[in-house]
Amino acid sequence: MKAIDIALKDIKQAFRNKTALMFMFVVPILVTGLFFFVFGSGEEETFELPKTSVHVVNLDEGEFGEVLVEVLRGEELQNLLAITQTEEVDVARSAVDRQESGVAVIIPENFSAVMLQPSGQADVEIYQDPTLTLGPGIVTTIVHQITDGFSGSKIAVGTTVEQLMEAGVGITPEAINNIVEAYVRTTQEIGGEAGLIESETPSGERADLGGPMGVVGFIMAGMMIFYAFFTGASMIQTILTEEENGTMQRLFSTPTSQSSILYGKFIASAGTVLIQVITLLIFGNLVFKIYWGELFGLVLVVLGTIASASTFGICFVSFIKTNRQAGAMMGGGITFMGMIGMARIFTMGMPNPPPTVEVISLFVPQGWAVRGISASMEGGSLENILFSLFGLLVWSLVFFLIGNARFKRRYV
């Protein structure tokens, strides 16, 4: 009960201290708010290509021209192309000239015939609006991809005919058609269900920042962890204040054990950090729309962070003699450790962050806390979260054993 009384007294004092409240809540929220306004509201902006109006004129009497038209009209390209088919070349060109259409694709009469012959050439004309670049470029790329596939069958036919002629074997038009069909079928099988063409949203490899708020969420997570350790140490620092004011000496004159005092300080530190972390988590979710991950995994990370931050304060303050020393050591030491622990957040936007960053950050407890909250926000496996929790608990045990031993020697 004495430990609880000491804890309640310290918690009340902490929440009456305006400076402590500033560092516990205001500073993390202000820093996160700054990034929030820099990066936007967190709603993902999508880039949609406008449809390109295309007039298609198929003058070809064979199958290849029809195949080209069907591909252009296919479901894969419906979001990119608006196809209008006409039989008059002049009508298609006039539509482009009047800017009613962006591109006209004109398939020549001998298109299929040339594709079935080892030699010969047929040109698909692309007539475009000179004021446009993106739409005509897309159409040109698509037509080139399709005709390149057809050209492959032409090469296959030429090679086959040449080898058969060298062997003294004749070839019929039906055999040529069979060769073309076999080539196209094989090409489609190799290419999968996409066939000759595949349309997809442009993408690239990037770091997954997790959650709708992306980098803003991880910034707030980093600030929350950084100031949780600062709060943990500040709460234990009251031991120094009570020493300087003579309160500790008067307390020792009563039947109060050193263990009760130290446990009371630990409970006060853990309780204050718990209130701080929960408040910031709720605020971040409601105001910044940050997704912190599944509740069970998040609770494990929070408990590990609280235990580590509180025991860190016991160990850290055990090496300090006065409040004057505490100001310099806490300002420099905790900031340095926090920056190392947040190295993962600083580099997670890089395409290929150095693997040593992850390793170096685990040399401090803040790095394990960042690792755990990142795994939760990114939807990582429970094994990853448990591994981070294990690391935090190991740090907590080490901190407590060192701090407890030093304080016992200190107050013999």
Run of H or E including 104:
strand 103-107
Asked whether the beta carbons of 291 and 265 are under 8 A apart, the reply is no
Average pLDDT of the residues in 153-177 = 63
Structure tokens at 137: 């470029």
284: exposed, middle or buried (Cβ count in 10 Å: 0-12, 13-18, 19+): buried
CA nearest 368: which of 280, 279, 308?
Answer: 308
Place of tokens 């069907």: 70
What is the rounded CA–CA span in Å between residue 303 and residue 109?
A: 75
Higher model confidence: residue 284 or residue 135? 284
Tell me what pLDDT residue 209 has: 46
Q: What is the pLDDT of residues 271-293, one digit of tens each?
A: 999 999 999 999 999 998 899 99
Tell me what pLDDT residue 197 has: 46
Q: For the chain, give every domain's residue range.
A: 2-43+212-410, 52-194
Residue 67 pLDDT grade (very low, low, confident, very high; cuts 50, 70, 90):
confident
Residue 185 pLDDT grade (very low, low, confident, very high; cuts 50, 70, 90):
low
> 51 to each of 85, 103, 402, how far by Cα in Å?
16, 11, 68
Q: What is the pLDDT of residues 24-36, one digit of tens each?
A: 999 999 988 888 8
Tell me what pLDDT residue 204 has: 42
What is the rounded CA–CA span in Å between residue 106 and residue 57?
A: 5
What is the rounded CA–CA span in Å between residue 201 and residue 160?
A: 38
Q: How many CA atoms lie within 13 A of 287 on its CB side?
A: 14
Strand order in the sheet with 52-58: 81-86, 52-58, 103-107, 125-128
Place of tokens 């008067």: 250
Average pLDDT of the residues in 117-134 = 80
Torsion of CA 63, 64, 66, 70, to 10 degrees: 130
pLDDT over threshold 60, residue 13: yes
Residue 396 pLDDT grade (very low, low, confident, very high; cuts 50, 70, 90):
very high
Q: What is the pLDDT of residues 331-352, one digit of tens each?
A: 888 999 999 999 888 877 666 6
pLDDT over threshold 50, residue 173: yes
Q: Report helix, strand or coil for 240.
A: helix
Average pLDDT of the residues in 176-200 = 52
Residue 147 pLDDT grade (very low, low, confident, very high; cuts 50, 70, 90):
confident
Question: Do you know the residue count of the chain?
Answer: 412
Residue 279: CB atoms within 10 Å: 15
Kindly report which listed range (168-172, 328-332, 374-378) carries the lowest average pLDDT score: 168-172
Higher model confidence: residue 248 or residue 365? 365
Q: To 5 degrees, how large is the angle CA 320–CA 17–CA 301?
A: 70
Strand bridging mode 52-58 / 81-86: parallel
Residue 257: CB atoms within 10 Å: 11
Residue 202 pLDDT grade (very low, low, confident, very high; cuts 50, 70, 90):
very low
Run of H or E including 126:
strand 125-128
Tell me what pLDDT residue 61 has: 82
What is the rounded CA–CA span in Å between residue 215 and residue 122?
A: 53
Residue 62 pLDDT grade (very low, low, confident, very high; cuts 50, 70, 90):
confident
Tell me what pLDDT residue 60 has: 87
Tell me what pLDDT residue 180 has: 59
Residue 172 pLDDT grade (very low, low, confident, very high; cuts 50, 70, 90):
low
- Of 3.40.1710, 3.30.70, 2.30.29, 3.30.300, the CATH number of 52-194 is 3.40.1710
